[in-house]
């Protein structure tokens, strides 16, 4: 039973528990609402969404978070999940129609009030700009790995939480732009060819950064010596493993994203060429795809 304690929050965050709990509640409520309206939601989508949500929660609110603060390579694994794997799973599960259906009507009406909706739309379109999104995606990785910035982020609770939340939110924004179907993106939809170019472009600087961290002979992140490492491995080995996690998975995730983009493009082309097949749209289309 003592192993169950590892699932408890290392540093309890009311914000994290509220965000993850509310998201799960909205998803469950939306699932029920859609089923009552006879819109079929495929079970595998719920499983993928649950896995993505669980992974993000686990690296932020379990004993894993303690390890991430005391081992550089665990920290890099944490950010790999928050910035790449977790958001990718969430986006591939097509959760928007389900979450939208789960929002209570009064709150939905409030969100659609012009003075609320207009600034949110402007912010959204800015963050989804094909130049801003990849620069922000790569820039955050580089910024939080500047040794002096990384040192202060790891010893200051508020900066540490800001670092993790910025990676998660930016990951969701970026992978939505890359992986979501164009019909679900509306005005901010990016062409599939452009997505492939962006995915290639963001992989290269991550590879360069990861290679530098792995191959340098200098110890870059002294904070882990100050706080103490969870396991007795040499500082350089810790740094090299962390560098490899920054290096290789970056290319792999861009490759996975490229495969999804090609699949989206081919699927859309088949739908357009299929005679007599009505074009699906809206919540029903995304929920049943």
With cut-offs at 50, 70 and 90, classify the pLDDT of residue 6.
confident
DSSP per-residue letters across 224-273? HHHH--SS---HHHHHHHHHHHHHHHHHHHHHHHHHHHHHHHHHHHHHHH
With cut-offs at 50, 70 and 90, classify the pLDDT of residue 282.
very low
pLDDT score recorded for residue 2 = 66
**Which pLDDT tens digit goes with each residue over 254-265?**
999 999 999 988
Residues in the chain: 289
With cut-offs at 50, 70 and 90, classify the pLDDT of residue 275.
low
Biggest alpha carbon–alpha carbon distance for the chain: 67
pLDDT score recorded for residue 283 = 46
The contacts of residue 103 (CB under 8 Å, 6+ apart) are: 26, 30, 111
Distance CA 241, CA 171 (A): 22
The contacts of residue 201 (CB under 8 Å, 6+ apart) are: 134
With cut-offs at 50, 70 and 90, classify the pLDDT of residue 171.
very high
The contacts of residue 116 (CB under 8 Å, 6+ apart) are: 110
Percent above pLDDT 70 for the chain = 93
Tokens of 152: 């202060």
Residue 238 has pLDDT above 60, yes or no: yes
Name the average pLDDT for the chain.
89
Q: Does the predicted TM-score (pTM) go above 0.85?
A: yes
Distance CA 151, CA 147 (A): 6
Domain positions in the chain: 9-272
């Amino acid at each position: 039973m003592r192993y169950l304690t590892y699932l408890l929050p290392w540093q309890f965050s009311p914000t994290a528990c509220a965000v993850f709990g509310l998201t799960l509640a909205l998803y469950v409520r939306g699932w029920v609402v859609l089923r009552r309206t006879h819109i079929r939601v495929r079970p595998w989508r719920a499983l993928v969404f649950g896995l993505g949500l669980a992974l993000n929660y686990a690296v932020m609110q379990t004993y894993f978070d303690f390890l991430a603060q005391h081992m550089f390579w665990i920290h890099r694994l944490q950010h790999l999940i928050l910035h790449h794997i977790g958001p990718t799973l969430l986006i591939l599960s097509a959760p928007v129609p389900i979450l939208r259906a789960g929002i209570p009507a009064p709150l939905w009406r409030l969100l659609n009030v012009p003075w609320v909706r207009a600034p949110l739309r402007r912010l959204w379109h800015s963050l989804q700009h094909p130049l801003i999104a990849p620069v922000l995606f790569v820039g955050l990785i580089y910024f939080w790995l500047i040794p002096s910035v990384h040192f202060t982020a790891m010893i200051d609770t508020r900066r540490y939480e800001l670092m993790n939340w910025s990676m998660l939110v930016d990951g969701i924004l970026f992978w939505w732009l890359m992986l979501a179907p164009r019909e679900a993106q509306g005005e901010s939809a990016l062409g599939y060819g452009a997505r492939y170019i962006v995915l290639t472009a963001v992989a290269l600087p991550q590879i360069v950064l990861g290679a530098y961290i792995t191959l340098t002979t200098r110890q870059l992140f002294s904070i882990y010596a100050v706080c103490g490492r969870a396991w007795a491995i040499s500082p350089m080995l810790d740094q090299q493993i962390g560098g490899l996690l920054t290096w290789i998975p970056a290319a792999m995730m861009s490759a996975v994203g490229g495969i999804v983009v090609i699949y989206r493009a081919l699927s859309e082309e088949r739908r357009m060429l299929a005679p007599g097949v009505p074009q699906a749209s809206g919540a029903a289309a995304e929920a049943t795809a």
